[in-house]
Amino acid sequence: MKVDGKAMRSIWVEPDGWSVGIIDQTALPHRLVTARLATIEEAAQAIRSMLVRGAPLIGAVAAYGVCLALRADASEESLDRAYAVLSGARPTAINLKWALDEIAAAVRNRPRSERCAAAYRRAAEICDQDVAINSAIGRNGLPLIEAIAARKKPGQSVNVLTHCNAGWLATVDVGTATAPIYLAHDQGLPVHVFADETRPRNQGASLTAWELGRHGVPHTVIADNTGGHLMQHGLVDLVIVGTDRVTANGDVCNKIGTYLKALAARDNGVPFYVALPSPTIDFTTADGVSEIPIEQRSPDEVATVTGRAADGRIETVRIVPEGSPVANYAFDVTPARLITGLITERGIIAASREALTGAFPERNHGAQ
Ligand code: MRU
């Protein structure tokens, strides 16, 4: 997408032809800072500490992490070590495992001398494929916004609520949940986004608001608890969220708080859609609620808030009394029954085992 008129992706190969450039998302929205990854350790740390985040981008960074490992040592042991280190960096988003499996398949059974180049080729393909998938999600989701716009009075916007950041920063480009929104906006449809702030790390307030603003999409940041009230008063036409993993039965794991939005949407008759790129499908997991490992992160993320002070300094302040225990669950699971539809690169499908298997039969090895 464009940042100040300049096209930018969230990940790229630097002009040296091998090291990997990323946006340090921990500095946004206050500063646009880039970082250079030159080792597998740096790639794993960038994922762990959330310089990069969002399921598809985590997968892309992991893919290049393997490239960096193989550049240093193209042995089988190095590949296995890279797989183990990177797959443990964050547990919930399945794109990480998907990307590592793709890279491993591309390099195994090749002579050592060819492995590194093969890994870089596959990593670049994974990135381009992500952009193509997200563009298709945009085209397939656009009619949802068009249909609502057609029912609106002149001058009224289509109000879309989204949670966390499933925008271009969470992917290589375009985003998943944001793809239909950007397309609608670019085609001149009046679309307005309610961006949940998304405590504790505030990806909605910091990242979604930043990228929508840079692209000129009208938006309003709301506290996480506001969505239900807005829906009760007819102020949300549509919810579109992203996902970190969709299980074989159509359950959707996404940023903590998504489930509550789905409940509120159901109670108020608001359509609740999930934008789903196929690498996010996990056919090996039968049931999301009981089987997906939910990442628990540092209590500090809940106990503190970081922002820019009036004098421009970035400050972190504590908001929880010293000594109060804090829990920090990073994701939750929305059961398939609460989901109106999954917007995929192959069309909008039901959140069900039959629909997922029908649309993506080639991904369904060993479904339970
Ligand atoms: O913890 P994060 O910031 O990696 O969580 C990101 C999300 O939950 C996104 O909604 C999800 O990865 C979908 S991204 C297209």
Q: Whose CA is nearest to atom 5 of ligand 1?
A: 54
Residues with CB under 6 A from ligand 1: 53-56, 93, 164, 166, 170-171, 176, 203, 242-244, 254-255, 330
Question: So what's the pLDDT on residue 106?
Answer: 98
12 beta partners: 21
Across 15-28, average pLDDT: 98
Question: Would you state the structure tokens that stand for residue 224, as one six-digit string?
Answer: 């996480």
Q: Percentage of residues in the chain with pLDDT exceeding 70? A: 99
**DSSP calls for 157-215:** PEEEEE-S--SGGGSSSS-STTHHHHHHHHTT--EEEEEE--TTTTHIIIIIHHHHHHH
Q: Percentage of residues in the chain with pLDDT exceeding 90? A: 96
Across 84-95, average pLDDT: 97
Question: So what's the pLDDT on residue 368?
Answer: 46
For a substitution probing ligand 1, which of 28, 57, 165 has the most ligand atoms within 8 Å of its CB? 165
Measured from the CA of 90, which atom of ligand 1 is nearest?
A: 4
Could you give the 3-state DSSP secondary structure of residue 353?
A: helix
**How many C-beta atoms lie closer than 10 Å to residue 107's C-beta?**
22
Across 344-350, average pLDDT: 98
Domain 137-364, CATH among 3.20.20.80, 3.40.50.10470, 1.10.10.10, 3.40.640.10: 3.40.50.10470
Measured from the CA of 254, which atom of ligand 1 is nearest?
A: 8
Confidence class of residue 144 from pLDDT cuts 50, 70 and 90? Answer: very high
pLDDT at 135 over 90: yes
Q: Whose CA is nearest to atom 6 of ligand 1?
A: 54
CATH number of the structural domain 2-128: 1.20.120.420
For a substitution probing ligand 1, which of 10, 24, 53, 210 has the most ligand atoms within 8 Å of its CB? 53
52, 11 Cβ separation under 8 angstroms: yes
In whole angstroms, what is the distance from residue 275 CA to residue 141 CA? 8
In whole angstroms, what is the distance from residue 22 CA to residue 337 CA? 37
Across 281-288, average pLDDT: 95
pLDDT at 196 over 80: yes
Q: Whose CA is nearest to atom 15 of ligand 1?
A: 166
In whole angstroms, what is the distance from residue 272 CA to residue 353 CA? 18
Q: Catalytic site residues?
A: 244
pLDDT at 30 over 90: yes
Cα of 164 vs centre of ligand 1, distance in Å, is 7
**How many C-beta atoms lie closer than 10 Å to residue 131's C-beta?**
16
pLDDT at 352 over 80: yes
Measured from the CA of 275, which atom of ligand 1 is nearest?
A: 15
For residues 367 and 179, the model is more confident at 179
**C-alpha distances in Å from residue 12, one per residue of 56, 122, 272:** 14, 14, 33
Question: Would you state the structure tokens that stand for residue 200, as one six-digit string?
Answer: 């504790």
Measured from the CA of 177, which atom of ligand 1 is nearest?
A: 15
pLDDT at 366 over 70: no
- Per the confidence metrics, is the pTM higher than 0.85? yes
Question: So what's the pLDDT on residue 6?
Answer: 85
137, 344 Cβ separation under 8 angstroms: yes
Across 169-184, average pLDDT: 98
Question: So what's the pLDDT on residue 138?
Answer: 98
pLDDT at 307 over 70: yes
Side by side, the strands of the sheet bearing 20-23 are 11-13, 20-23, 34-37
Query: How far is Cα of residue 290 from the mean position of the Cα atoms in its chain?
Result: 22
Q: Where are the domains of the chain?
A: 2-128, 137-364
In whole angstroms, what is the distance from residue 84 CA to residue 87 CA? 5
Mean pLDDT value across the chain? 97
**C-alpha distances in Å from residue 259, one per residue of 8, 254, 272, 339:** 32, 8, 11, 10
Amino acid identity, residue 16?
D
- Convert the pLDDT of each residue in 39-89 to its tens digit: 999 999 999 999 999 999 999 999 999 999 999 999 999 999 999 999 999
